[in-house]
Amino acid sequence: MAEIVYPPVVVVLKTFWKYLGLRFDFKGVENIPRDGGAILAMNHVGYLDFALIGTAALPVNRYVRFMAKKEIFENKIAGPLMRGMHHISVDRSSGSASFVAALRALKSGEIVGIFPEGTISVSFELKEFKSGAVRLAMGAGVPVIPAVVWGSQRIWTKKVKRNLKRNKYPISVTFGEPLYFTKADDVEEGEAQLRAAMQALLLDVQSHYPDSHEGARWAPIRLGGSAPAPLN
């Protein structure tokens, strides 16, 4: 498909990251296939997660088509950009159309980005997962790449005032080894396997994060932070 919008948006994003002074630590990029369909299953801690994870995937020359709530597509500014980058609109009241669109994209060789939690976790711990990522992988016959991002919540997240100053925050993104599912596999077991893989990646990223979590609003209680307690 023609890429008219995505390349200039990437240029703008890179300029924005430079303005913020972000310090990137991208690992496991080699786990993203150079061609063919694949699913990126990602944790969700901030509003910029999709853009940061998309940036992390650029070294393998892949554009990620993210599944995002339809309200973003209805925005006068964001909507045309989302459609121009061929992202996938999700109607939470009826997800069948978005499932079909994602399945079509995967079968045509695209990488589709999914947040299995469905929404930002205000506790910054993994929430309960929805089964869409595993079911899509089974239907399209493509691998699932578990991925985690950490540090983005310090810039802009739910229920916290955004901070767009040049704070030079470290941002970590790690892509894990591919997971493969077949139509004969149990969906719930696949979901549990995916969650366990993402949890392991998250713990590793947090343990190597250069800044202290102690007392920080952007850090979970488990790490000594002051974020809200997990609800599940």
DSSP per-residue codes, the chain: ---SSHHHHHHHHHHHHHHHT-EEEEE-GGGS-SSS-EEEEE---STTHHHHHHHHTGGGT--EEEEEEHHHHTSTTHHHHHHHTT-EEE-TT--HHHHHHHHHHHHTT-EEEE-TTSS--TTSS--PPPSHHHHHHHHHT--EEEEEEESGGGTSBTTB----S----EEEEEE---B---TTS-HHHHHHHHHHHHHHHHHHHHHH-SS--TT-TTS-GGGT--SPPP--
pLDDT at 103: 97
The residues of the chain scoring below 70 in pLDDT are 1, 232
The reported pLDDT for the residue numbered 105 is 98
For the stretch 149-163, pLDDT in tens is: 999 999 999 999 999
- pLDDT > 90 in the chain, percent: 95
221 CB-side CA count, 13 A: 6
pTM: 0.95
CB atoms within 10 A of CB 156: 15
Distances (CA, A) of 13 to 7, 88, 153: 10, 20, 17
CATH classification (class only), 20-212: alpha beta
* Amino acid identity for residue 162 in this structure: R
Token digits of residue 95? 């997800």
CB proximity list for 27: less than 8 A, separation 6 or greater: 172, 173, 174, 175
Q: Distance (Å, rounded) from C-alpha 173 to C-alpha 184?
A: 32
Strand-pair category, 23-27 with 111-114: unpaired
pLDDT score at 231 = 77
The residue extents of the domains of the chain are: 20-212
Per-residue pLDDT, 232: 60
